[in-house]
């Protein structure tokens, strides 16, 4: 399914009043993981500004020990500080990478803004080297703009 075909499905999930916020986030993770072949782990992390940590929210994919990540550590922690998208074509080439699984080859993290504040991010791992393009970034920015409506 193309990104353009997925957009209305994301919007439909967000606007469905019968789901809780976490159920909506999980359904978005499932939608992306099931319909984009190279998305093998899809999840949300949310920032705690007081403790300067990210906390794992709904996700699909292999279980992870990384349920709390300090700002600045790993790809997700760097995005919490930089407020910028981070595309990692090859995780083996990154010095500040937290390995979740030896099968992960690449990662993309896009910050989630609500009223100009970075409250979290969507994090996607892939078992494929260098699959992410600018189109992925724009699509995930769209997803996060929809998710922001929940906050």
Give me the domains of the chain, ranges plus CATH numbers: 3-150 (3.30.450.40)
Other beta carbons less than 10 A from residue 34's beta carbon: 12
pLDDT > 80? residue 127: yes
pLDDT tier at 103, thresholds 50, 70, 90:
confident
| pLDDT attached to residue 52 | 98
pLDDT > 90? residue 91: no
pTM score, whole prediction: 0.95
pLDDT > 90? residue 93: no
| pLDDT attached to residue 73 | 93
What pairs with residue 69 in β-bridges? 54
| pLDDT attached to residue 102 | 75
| pLDDT attached to residue 107 | 95
Distance of alpha carbon 3 from alpha carbon 144, whole angstroms = 14
pLDDT tier at 96, thresholds 50, 70, 90:
low
When pLDDT is averaged across residues 60-71 and rounded to a whole number, the result is 94
When pLDDT is averaged across residues 116-140 and rounded to a whole number, the result is 97
What are the phi and psi torsion angles at 60 (to 5°)? Answer: -130, 145
Distance in Å from the first CA to the final CA of the chain: 28
pLDDT tier at 94, thresholds 50, 70, 90:
confident
**Distances in Å between the alpha carbon of 35 and those of 3, 12, 29, 82, 151?**
9, 16, 10, 29, 26
| pLDDT attached to residue 62 | 92
pLDDT > 70? residue 100: no
């Amino acid at each position: 399914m193309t990104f353009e075909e997925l957009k209305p499905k994301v919007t439909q999930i967000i606007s469905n009043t019968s789901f809780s916020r976490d159920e909506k986030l999980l359904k978005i993770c499932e939608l992306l993981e099931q319909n984009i072949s190279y998305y093998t782990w899809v999840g949300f992390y949310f920032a705690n500004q007081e403790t300067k940590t990210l906390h794992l929210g709904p996700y699909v994919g292999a279980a992870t020990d990384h349920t709390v990540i300090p700002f600045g550590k790993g790809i997700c922690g760097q995005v919490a500080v930089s407020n910028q998208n981070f595309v990692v074509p090859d995780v083996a080439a990154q010095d500040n990478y937290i390995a979740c699984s030896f099968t992960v080859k690449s990662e993309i993290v896009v910050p989630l803004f609500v009223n100009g504040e970075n409250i979290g991010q969507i994090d996607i791992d892939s078992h494929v080297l260098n699959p992410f393009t600018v189109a992925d970034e724009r699509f995930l920015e769209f997803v996060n703009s929809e998710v922001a409506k929940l906050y």
